[in-house]
Amino acid sequence: MTTYTARPIPAEVLAELRTADDAGRSLTAVPDTEGGSPLRCCLRHSTPGESIALVSYAPLRRWAAETGADPAAYDEQGPVFIHAEACPGPAGDALPFTDDHRTLRRYSADGRILGGRLVAGPETFPPALTEAFADPEVALVHVRAVEYGCFLYEVRRG
C-alpha cells in the first residue's frame, strides 16, 4: 500500500506570509484563547495561548509558480491559520485533520480541477488518495475543510 504525505506550507513561504500574505496584508498575531485552530505550518491544532495569525494564502498559485502551470480561474486565495513565529513544522508524517469530513480536491498538471471526493474518518483517506492518484491526470490533491472549503494541506504524486 502506498503511503501519502501531507505537505504543510513550506517554511520559505511561511516566512513570506509572515511579512505580507498573498493578499498583501501584514501579519497580525493574536493569542489563541480557545485553541483548536488548524495550523497549516505544523499540521496540528493550536493550543490555548499560542500566538497565531490568520493569513490569506493562495496554494494553487504558489504550486503553479513552482511548476509553470496556469491555474487560470482556479487560482484562489483563502484564510489559513499559521503560527505567528517560525515553528518546527509537523511532528510526524501521519495524515492530519482526518477526524472529520473532508473534501479531497484533485488537480491536473495544468492547474485545473479534475474532481473531488468527500471522505470521513482516518480509514477513508488512504483509499481515496490511492483512487485519486490512480488517475494519471492527477498531479496533486488538496485536502479541504467541508464546512468552509478552506485549504488544509496538499498531497502530491510520488
Q: Report the candidate in 112, 134, 121 with the shortest Cα–Cα distance to residue 142.
A: 112
Domain ranges of the chain: 11-83, 101-156
Q: Which helix (H) or strand (E) holds 59?
A: helix 59-67
pLDDT of 137: 96
Mean pLDDT by 10 residues, the chain (158 residues): 87 97 97 97 97 97 94 94 96 90 96 95 94 96 94 90
pTM: 0.94
Give me the DSSP letters along 83-134. Answer: ESS-----SSSSPPS-SSEEEEEEEETTS-EEEEEEEESGGGHHHHHHHHHH
